[in-house]
Amino acid sequence: MALANAYVLPTNRIPDLLRKIQDGQVPARFTIQLLKDWGFTSTNDRAFIPLLKAIGFLTADGTPTQRYSEYRDHSQSKQVLGQAIREAYSDIFLIKEHPTTADRSAIEGKFKSYHNASDNIAALMTRTFFGLLSQADISAVPRQSIRIELPPENDVREEAFQGESVAKSMSSLSRSLHYNIQIHLPATKDVEVYNSIFKSLKEHLVD
C-alpha cells in the first residue's frame, strides 16, 4: 500500500496549479522557473513539484509523465486525478472508501503514525490530500482488480491474492478455450469476502 507524505502550504492554490497544467503545453521538464512563469512565485509554491511527483504526474527528475498528458484532457481530468490519488494515498481508502472532511481526524492520525509526523505536519498532509480530492472524481475509479487466466491445458494452477492461495481445477475445460476474466474487488480486510468470491467463481466456471 502507499501513503504520500508530500504537502503544500498554499492548498487553496491547488486548483490554480491544476488549471495551469490543463491549459498549458507539456514542458520538457517541470521546474521552479515554470512555476514562477505561471505566477507561483512564493518559495512555499516550490513544494508543488514534489507533490506532483508523489501523484505520478512527474518523474523523479521532473519530466512529465503520461498521466500528466492525460490530465490535460478536460473530459477525463477528474478521473485521471482520482486514479492518481487512489494510488498515492491508498492507505487512506482502507479507512474510508469515500473519505470526507468528517474523517479528517482519522486521516490525520494515519499520516501521523505512518510517517511519524508531528501534529502540524500531519494536518498539512491532510489538507493537501483534501485539496487534491476536491478536484478529483474517485467514484468511477476501480478500487482494485486482478486478472485470472484459465489456461486451455488440463492442469491445476494456484493463483495468489492477498497472501491467500486459491487452487483451481481445470480438468473439464476444453483445450480450445481461453478465458480472460476481470474481477473488481471491494476494499476490505475481511479475507472471507475474497474467499466467497473465488468459491463462487470456481462453482460457476469449473464443472
DSSP per residue over the chain, as a string? --------S-GGGHHHHHHHHHHSPPPSS--HHHHHHTT--SGGGGGHHHHHHHTTSB-TTS-B-HHHHHHT-TTTHHHHHHHHHHHHTTTHHHH-SS--GGGHHHHHHHHHHHHT--HHHHHHHHHHHHHHHTT---TTS-S-EEEEEE-SSS-EEEEEETTEEEEEE-TTS-TT--EEEEEEPP--S-HHHHHHHHHHHHHHH--
Output 204 or 82, whichever has higher pLDDT: 82
Mean confidence (pLDDT) of the chain: 81
Query: What local confidence, expressed as pLDDT, does residue 63 receive?
Result: 98
Residues 175-197 have a mean pLDDT of: 54
Question: Mean pLDDT, to the nearest integer, of 16-26?
Answer: 97
Query: Given a cut of 70, is residue 184 above it in pLDDT?
Result: no
pLDDT of residue 64 exceeding 90:
yes
pLDDT of residue 139: 86
Q: Which of 44-58, 98-112, 155-169 is predicted least confidently? A: 155-169
Q: Mean per-residue pLDDT for 38-51?
A: 97
Residue pLDDT, tens place only, 93-150:
998 999 999 999 999 999 999 999 999 999 999 999 999 999 999 986 554 443 444 4
pTM, entire model: 0.67
DSSP string covering 27-57: PSS--HHHHHHTT--SGGGGGHHHHHHHTTS
Q: Which residues contact 47 (CB under 8 A, 6 or more apart)?
A: 6, 7, 8, 9
Task: Tell me how far apart the alpha carbons of residues 50 and 52 are, in angstroms, rounded to a whole number.
Answer: 5
